[in-house]
């Protein structure tokens, strides 16, 4: 019902950037390789996302506005994966309950697509529509029916900044996909698919930054780590033993001469998801200690890959916190890898 949806919206939808996050994740889950985002007035007036993913047939298009109507949990085996999926079928109904939403979608195999209009959670129309395969969702007048929430939005510029930062995060995590972000007057991000993170870094941050970056890579396995293997109960049933090199770290770190005034250029991805984690920030500040001043920050793009069992993504999907099983080990692994990279690049 509407009340439940609006309450859920309080959890999922804080600001335009959180809408963009949910829609972007859905597009990626739908296998899209091309994602175009348009915003007006920092997303308060309009957020439109166009993807070339697998789209939805009529039934799914209607169902996706029902709470908990996720198509992504088909068995209890999937429960393990919940953490990586964000909310379970709450995003679309929540967003639709606090905006005027239009959905246009067509599954590749269908002859005709579906167009649905919803305002404040009320379905206004459902029609056949000639559409290309894929999905377009437009979210207009966010929080038009919840003035108290609307009051909490910041300036257009601030909200746009959050949206741009978010799209940047996803573009960094998925170099092989084409991302675009437009306002009514500007193209903020235009990033055609490239083959690796280095090229994406160049594309998004420019040659000047790229020139000051050092590539790093390291991997670790249980045998060398001296860590205990996962407890037996974890190894039974569906637990797959971690392969050799179960922990992989790769990415780019900045040379000492490139310094920033804040942490906004520190990107750490765990299994493809951006995290903001104090442990990682601490490991990085230790690595850069006495190399850059304590008031400066490096540019960092790190990708950590580890078995899902090694990391707990916070139950609140709007947050980007994680809990690692081997905290101290991971901290030192990151610190030492970054240190080694810095030392090796010394003139
Ligand atoms: P969840 O992502 O947790 O399943 P959502 O409310 O975000 O929940 O989406 C509900 C459902 O709508 C999804 O499970 C998916 O089937 C469908 N869906 C949403 N967005 C898209 C999209 N861009 N392309 C194809 N299907 C989509
Ligand atoms: Mg979703």
- The atom of ligand 1 lying closest to the CA of 89 is 8
- pLDDT over 70 (residue 100): yes
pLDDT for 247? 85
In three-state form (DSSP H/G/I as H, E/B as E, the rest C), the secondary structure along 15-64 is CHHHHHHHHHHHHHHCCCCEEEEEEEHHHCCEEEEEECCCCCCHHHHHHC
Mean pLDDT in residue range 181-209: 96
The tens digit of pLDDT for each residue in 252-265 reads: 999 999 999 999 99
Cα(235) to ligand 1 centroid in Å equals 32
Strand partners, 302: 251, 268
What ipTM was assigned to the predicted interfaces of this complex? 0.99
Count how many residues are written for the chain: 347
Give CA 38 to chain center in angstroms.
Answer: 17
- The atom of ligand 1 lying closest to the CA of 26 is 20
What's the Cα-to-Cα distance from 156 to each of 41, 46, 179, 247, rounded to whole Å?
5, 12, 21, 41
Q: Which domains does the chain have, with CATH numbers?
A: 2-191 (3.30.565.10), 197-344 (3.30.230.10)
- The atom of ligand 1 lying closest to the CA of 51 is 23
pLDDT for 227? 60
In angstroms, the CA 130 to CA 124 distance is: 19
In angstroms, the CA 197 to CA 205 distance is: 12
In angstroms, the CA 27 to CA 55 distance is: 9
Cα(26) to ligand 1 centroid in Å equals 5
Q: What's the pTM value of the predicted model, to 2 decimals?
A: 0.87
Cα(194) to ligand 1 centroid in Å equals 26
The tens digit of pLDDT for each residue in 295-322 reads: 999 999 999 998 887 887 654 555 567 8
């Amino acid at each position: 019902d509407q009340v439940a949806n609006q309450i859920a919206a309080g959890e999922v939808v804080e600001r335009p950037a959180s809408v963009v996050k949910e829609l972007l994740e859905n597009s990626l889950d739908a296998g899209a390789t091309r994602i175009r985002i348009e915003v007006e007035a920092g997303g308060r007036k309009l957020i439109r996302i166009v993807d070339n993913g697998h789209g939805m047939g009529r039934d799914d298009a209607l169902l996706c506005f029902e709470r908990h109507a996720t198509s992504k949990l088909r068995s209890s085996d999937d429960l393990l994966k919940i953490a990586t999926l964000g909310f379970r079928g709450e995003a679309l109904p929540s967003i639709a309950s606090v905006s005027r939403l239009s959905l246009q979608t067509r599954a590749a195999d269908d002859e005709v697509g579906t167009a649905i209009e919803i305002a404040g959670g009320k379905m206004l129309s459902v029609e056949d529509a000639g559409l290309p395969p894929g999905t377009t969702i437009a979210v207009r007048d966010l929080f038009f029916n919840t003035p108290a929430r609307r009051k909490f939005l910041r300036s257009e510029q601030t909200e746009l900044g959050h949206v741009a930062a978010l799209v940047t995060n996803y573009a960094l995590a998925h170099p092989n996909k084409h991302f675009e972000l437009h306002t009514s007057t500007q193209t903020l991000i235009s990033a055609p698919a490239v083959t690796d993170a280095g090229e994406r870094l160049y594309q998004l941050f420019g040659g000047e930054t790229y020139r000051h970056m050092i590539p790093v890579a390291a991997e670790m396995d249980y045998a060398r780590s001296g860590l205990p293997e996962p407890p037996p109960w974890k190894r039974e049933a569906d637990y797959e033993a971690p392969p050799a090199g179960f922990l992989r770290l790769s990415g780019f770190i900045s040379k000492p001469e490139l310094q920033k005034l804040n942490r906004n250029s520190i990107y750490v991805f765990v299994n493809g998801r951006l995290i903001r984690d104090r442990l990682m920030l601490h490991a990085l500040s230790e690595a850069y200690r006495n190399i850059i001043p304590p008031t400066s920050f490096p540019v960092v793009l790190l990708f950590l890959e580890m078995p899902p069992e090694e990391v707990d993504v916070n139950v609140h999907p709007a947050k980007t916190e994680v809990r690692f099983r081997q905290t101290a080990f991971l901290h030192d692994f990151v610190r030492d890898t970054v240190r080694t990279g810095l030392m090796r690049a010394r003139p």
